[in-house]
Structure 1
Amino acid sequence: MANPRAFISFDFDHDETSRMLFVGQAKNSKTPFAIQDWSSKSALAEAEWEKVISAKIGKCNMVIVLVGKTMASASGVAKELAMAKLQDVPAFGVYVDGASTSSNLPAGLPRNRTIAWKWDDVAAAITQMMGEGKNKV
């Protein structure tokens, strides 16, 4: 697989540390892929945020949602998933920061597309995403 581009969607107010750990571990893991993190690293004004984020998502092969315990309050994540859907960019979620199958999911992210943070499972999900949506060959 040739270094898929992933937009990392996360609760900016609560899961920044999980984002840094996930991206850092992805770079250093022995899994057969590389993730390029195209997520926003700073807060932006709403109109600018929507324009910038939509463009970034459109340039990615997939969206990976880091699902933390406070995901219900992260309205931006639901907007990012809606942007991905409009652009035919496939998405999946990864539970972080103690979240589990009983945690709230953002609108647009099905429970059956949300997995535990195990690198073999993440690698399998990335492989699956590369055959879906705009990535279909």
Structure 2
Amino acid sequence: MADKRVIFIAFAMEDEGIRNLFTGQSLNTRTPYEFVDMSVKEPYKTAWKDRVRTRIRRSHGVIALISSDTPQATGQLWEISCAADEGKPLLGVWIDPKYRTKPVELGTAPCTEWTWPAITAFVEDV
């Protein structure tokens, strides 16, 4: 891949450890993809929606890490809706092997297992 793609990672705060593993994996030299992570590491105290929208606009695409915590993660669900409103390519990634409920906010965007080929295809396509 010639240029790193800028990807916003939408995740429930309860899944921060998984997000760290997901983004860290892209730094592994054996991983067939790489991207610049634009996710919000700490919740903003004020005007967070404006700041997040700016990050999403600067991104080539959005990956939503989907778990059983997602339905209650109002911030994550808003981020997914914002990405859809901005016309950004979206991909849902299942991070909980027993949870497979797709958030309505993802619309027609695909959801996939966390595999290198699936993530590579999305990152290289945006």
Superposed pair shares fold, TM > 0.5 = yes
Residue 79 in 1 paired to residue 78 in 2?
Answer: yes
Structure 2, unmatched stretches of 5+, are none
Tell me the TM-score normalized by structure 2: 0.87
Distance 1:120 1:42 in 2: 29
Aligned-residue offset at 1:118: 0.7
Q: Which residue of 2 aligns with 1:27?
A: 27
Name which of structure 1's ranges 79-88 and 18-27 shifts more when overlaid on structure 2: 79-88
Aligned-residue offset at 1:29: 5.0
Among all aligned residue pairs of Structure 1 and Structure 2, give the percentage whose two residues are the same amino acid.
Answer: 28
Q: Which residue of 1 aligns with 2:106?
A: 109
Tell me the TM-score normalized by structure 1: 0.81
Q: Which residue of 1 aligns with 2:63?
A: 64
Letter of the structure 2 residue corresponding to residue 81 of structure 1: I
C-alpha distance 29-57 of structure 1, shift in aligned 2 (>3 A): same
Q: Which residue of 2 aligns with 1:5?
A: 6
Aligned-residue offset at 1:99: 4.5
Aligned length: 125
Structure 1 outlier segments of 4+, above 6 Å: none
Letter of the structure 2 residue corresponding to residue 43 of structure 1: P
> For 1:18-65, what per-residue CA distance to the aligned partner results, in whole angstroms no more than 9, with x for missing partners?
0000000111153443111111111223x5210110000000000000
Q: Is the 8 A contact 2:70 2:77 kept in 1?
A: no
> For 1:92-120, what per-residue CA distance to the aligned partner results, in whole angstroms no more than 9, with x for missing partners?
0111143543xx33232147611001111
C-alpha distance 29-10 of structure 1, shift in aligned 2 (>3 A): farther
C-alpha distance 48-112 of structure 1, shift in aligned 2 (>3 A): closer
Q: Which residue of 2 aligns with 1:38?
A: 38
Q: Is the 8 A contact 2:25 2:31 kept in 1?
A: no
C-alpha distance 99-20 of structure 1, shift in aligned 2 (>3 A): farther
Letter of the structure 1 residue corresponding to residue 76 of structure 2: V
